[in-house]
């Protein structure tokens, strides 16, 4: 009776025995080594088929020290993850690029403190070969922990200064400056801005671009801070209108906020773009269909996903080599709102 305990999946050893070869040879066949005779290979393949053998990944990982799994961690709630087209686009880029690698992608979201502990030691080497981090907030301890554990990781978006992980970022500052310059050169004199969250570098950089563009024009900055959401766009627009009834342009750090602002502008009886010009940021799919259609800053989101995967691949395969950070270009898409 050499049958194993109740319906455990078959092991390599059993496959080898059935094929009449040694464990080593069976392993070579499974892993596609060429140093195997055709006879042996066929025997093993047939045994695999008959037994329905699937390699035990835990056992394999234990010896190879890798898992062929990469995690994409999004530090946001499901609502934002699913609500904002941005994430869908990154994920599309990431999955496309992953299809060209031997690795499997895992998606994890973590807004909730309670989840953090579990996630955390899930991500510690031995379970994941690398991590893609999206939508990082400044106070997030994850980058530090990953660095400490030596887990290869790439960030989407530039981190604040203490984080040393490689990143792929957009030229947020340049894009914002482009937008504001467009506003000024088309004759606007009182240009306000609704910012993103200040604990995210994308938010800070877009604000910085706004300030940059104002330099030398002797315009006073006029800023309300939002959080990228449509609601915060409405709220901020209302506040702006109250503070500066004479404003004639608003640069919003996200399309969602621009949409909110336009709604509020309409409610206040201001015409877009006649009375007030509006520019958004993201070039999200909806920006094409708003009324009027939204002038906005395009950022190559899908590319970002692709580049992140490529960088992570390098990090995993050649841990010794440093990979340079990447900043992707942005450009202005002029439609009807400005």
Partner DNA sequence: GAGCGTTATGGGAGCGCTCCCAAAGGTGCG
Partner DNA sequence: CGCACCTTTGGGAGCGCTCCCATAACGCTC
Region from 119-127, 203-211, 219-227, 237-245 binding a copy of itself, contact rule CB under 8 A: 119-127
Binding residue for DNA, selected from 1, 18, 27, 104, defined by CB under 7 A:
27
- The helix-helix angle for 23-30 and 12-19 (nearest 10°) equals 110
- The helix-helix angle for 85-98 and 301-317 (nearest 10°) equals 40
DSSP letters for 120-137: HHHHSSSS-SEEEEES--
DSSP letters for 41-62: HHHHHHHHHHHT----HHHHHH
Query: Is residue 36 at the binding interface for DNA, with CB under 7 A as the rule?
Result: yes
Vertex 166: Cα angle to 112 and 123 (nearest 5) = 40
Binding residue for DNA, selected from 45, 51, 56, 83, defined by CB under 7 A:
56
Nearer Cβ to a copy of itself (87/210): 87
Q: Which of residues 60-89 bind a copy of itself (CB under 8 A)?
A: 61-62, 67, 69, 78-79, 81-83, 85, 87-88
Strand 191-195 and strand 104-109: the pairing is: unpaired
Alpha carbons 35 and 44: distance in angstroms, whole number: 14
Query: Is residue 34 at the binding interface for DNA, with CB under 7 A as the rule?
Result: yes
Binding residue for DNA, selected from 37, 42, 77, 336, defined by CB under 7 A:
37
How many other C-beta atoms lie within 10 A of the C-beta of residue 184? 16
Residues that bind a copy of itself (CB under 8 A): 7, 9, 52, 54-59, 61-62, 67, 69, 78-79, 81-83, 85, 87-88, 91-92, 95, 99, 102, 104-109, 112, 114-115, 118-119, 121-122, 124-127, 148-150
Residues that bind DNA (CB under 7 A): 4, 8, 11-13, 20-25, 27-28, 30-31, 34-37, 39-40, 53, 55-56, 59-60, 62-64
């Amino acid at each position: 009776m050499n049958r194993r305990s109740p319906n455990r999946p078959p092991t390599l050893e059993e496959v080898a025995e059935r094929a009449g070869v040694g464990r080593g040879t069976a392993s070579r066949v499974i892993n596609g080594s060429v140093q195997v005779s055709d006879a042996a290979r066929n025997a093993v393949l047939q045994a695999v088929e008959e037994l329905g053998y699937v390699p035990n990944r835990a056992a394999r990982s234990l010896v190879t020290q890798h898992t062929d799994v990469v995690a994409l961690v999004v530090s946001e709630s499901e609502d934002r993850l699913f609500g904002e087209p941005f994430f869908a686009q990154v994920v599309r880029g990431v999955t496309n690029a992953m299809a060209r690698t031997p690795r499997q992608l895992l998606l994890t979201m973590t807004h909730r403190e309670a989840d953090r502990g579990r996630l955390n030691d899930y991500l510690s080497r031995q379970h994941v070969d690398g991590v893609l981090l999206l939508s990082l907030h400044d106070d997030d301890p994850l980058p530090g922990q990953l660095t400490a554990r030596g887990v290869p990781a790439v960030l989407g978006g530039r981190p604040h200064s203490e984080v040393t992980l490689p990143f792929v970022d957009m030229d947020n500052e340049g894009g914002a400056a482009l937008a504001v310059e467009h506003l000024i050169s088309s004759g606007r004199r009182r240009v306000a801005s609704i910012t993103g969250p200040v604990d995210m570098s994308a938010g800070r950089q877009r604000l910085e671009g706004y300030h940059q563009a104002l330099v030398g024009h002797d315009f006073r900055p006029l800023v309300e801070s939002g959080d990228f959401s449509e609601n915060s766009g409405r709220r901020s627009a209302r506040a702006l209108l109250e503070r500066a009834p004479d404003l004639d342009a608003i640069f919003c750090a996200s399309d969602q906020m621009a949409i909110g602002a336009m709604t509020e502008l309409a409610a206040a009886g201001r015409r877009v773009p006649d009375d007030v010009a509006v520019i958004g940021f993201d070039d999200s799919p909806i920006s094409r269909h708003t009324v009027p259609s939204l002038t906005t800053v395009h950022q190559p989101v899908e590319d970002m996903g692709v580049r992140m995967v490529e960088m992570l691949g390098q990090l995993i395969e050649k841990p010794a080599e440093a990979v340079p950070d990447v900043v992707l270009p942005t450009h202005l898409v002029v439609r009807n709102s400005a």
